[in-house]
Structure 1
Amino acid sequence: MISRDAVVLGSDMLEEARAYLRLEYEEEDASLGTVLLGAIGYAEAYLGQMLLRRNAREVLPASMRWQRLSVLPVSLVNSVTGIPAEGMPFALSSEAYKIEIDAHGEVWLRVTQPGSAGRVEVACMAGMAQTWAELPEAIRLGVLRLAAHLHLHRDNPDDPGPTEGVAALLRPWRRRRLA
């Protein structure tokens, strides 16, 4: 199970999207924000990475084997909490687990002393960039083009889906995993 904090839309994001879509009035910002969040969610699912840095949590089995978190890219692991079958969750001491974060932001976890925990929850900070402006230009343009597509086709039941141009802009940053 993975949970992530919601993306917070900054005014710079909304302004750039409004300019790209040639929307003149701020009254449209609510619907534009919804479309932009949808485009970001789509891009994150396609890329296999979180775009903007925010908190995330993932629950894994408490295992002696090395396990990789699905959340990417991770910059910081905040805590590891033991989850027993019965009773209250508890903080695992730093001696009870091993964490490795590689250069690509992949986190590997091994629980060496689980105590009564059958599962562990890893709380971390993940995302490619702190702000919208720090994202690579191609990713920003891909998200904006996708938002434009979603905005244009919002009431079209026969929507053909995003253009190949969106995928071409995002593809260089796509992270795939082998099972």
Structure 2
Amino acid sequence: MMLIEEASVPDEVLPLAAFKAHLRLGTGFAQDDVQDPVLKSFLKAALAAVEARTGKALISRAFSWSVTRWRDPSAESLPIAPVRVIEALEICDADGADLIMSPDCYALEIDSQRPKIIARGGGFGSIPFGGKASIRFQAGFGPQWSDLPDDLAQAVFLLAAHYYEYRDETSLTRGCMPFGVQTLIERYRPMRLFAGARA
């Protein structure tokens, strides 16, 4: 199984001016933009960390999920949410020949924790030995920063500010995710049932 991020979050989506205001950085100086690359890197790092902890794509972009066997031949759970649209389902054999499945053969089951691609009819069909199935989809709350829920946007700001403040700190005690960030993202974390297995 492998999740691939097909497109990264574009720099222009990052709320750089708002983040500078959050940090209370001075403005109106000749070199206002000297820290921009560093601030963008902290915002992207915080986005990635929050996404990893919550299993949510914050900014919409393309992903692909590859499997070598179906866990359930009638439904395959996707590892990240919220999924907006399934773009393609392809089954590839060991020689690299692709079979593109018709969109009429599957549907998206929207779920805030574990979205699924559901087979219509008799199932997805078998994956050849040495081959794989690849599901391409779009996931995220929306294409703009303003599409994020307020608590997740605030969590990213708090974590990025933490990275900025302790950018020279190498000890683990201050490098861990702050409690305030954990509190904000807690309700978005994947629910675990049945002795730790994902629902």
CA-to-partner distance for each residue in 1:108-161, whole Å, 9 max, x for gaps? 344533475842111101002221112111111110010000011111112522
- 1:28-107 → structure 2 map (5 Å cutoff): 28-63=35-70, 64-94=73-103, 97-104=105-112, 106-107=115-116
Structure 1 letter corresponding to 2:166: H
Residues 11 and 109 (structure 1), Cα distance of their counterparts in 2 relative to 1, 3 Å cut = closer
Q: Tell me the residue number matched to 1:9.
A: 11
Instruction: Report the TM-score, using the length of structure 1 for normalisation.
Output: 0.88
Q: Tell me the residue number matched to 1:22.
A: 24
Does residue 113 of structure 1 match 2:125? yes
Residues 174 and 168 (structure 1), Cα distance of their counterparts in 2 relative to 1, 3 Å cut = same
- 1:149-164 → structure 2 map (5 Å cutoff): 149-159=162-172, 160=174, 161-164=176-179
Residues 167 and 59 (structure 1), Cα distance of their counterparts in 2 relative to 1, 3 Å cut = same
Shift of 1:50: 0.5
Q: Tell me the residue number matched to 1:140.
A: 153
Contact 1:56 1:71 in 2 (8 A): no
Instruction: Report the TM-score, using the length of structure 2 for normalisation.
Output: 0.79
Shift of 1:15: 1.0
Contact 2:67 2:132 in 1 (8 A): yes
Contact 2:62 2:139 in 1 (8 A): yes
Structure 2: distance between partners of 1:128 and 1:115 = 31
Structure 2: distance between partners of 1:23 and 1:90 = 54
Structure 1: distance between partners of 2:184 and 2:15 = 18
Contact 1:46 1:174 in 2 (8 A): yes
Shift of 1:67: 1.9
Most deviating of 38-47 and 152-161: 152-161
Most deviating of 132-141 and 36-45: 132-141
Structure 2: distance between partners of 1:157 and 1:112 = 48
Shift of 1:34: 0.5
Secondary structure of the 1:113 match is coil
Contact 2:108 2:118 in 1 (8 A): yes
Most deviating of 126-135 and 38-47: 126-135
Residues 11 and 41 (structure 1), Cα distance of their counterparts in 2 relative to 1, 3 Å cut = closer
Please list every run of 5 or more consecutive structure 1 residues that lacks an aligned counterpart in the other structure: none
Aligned length: 178
Contact 2:14 2:40 in 1 (8 A): no
Residues 28 and 115 (structure 1), Cα distance of their counterparts in 2 relative to 1, 3 Å cut = closer
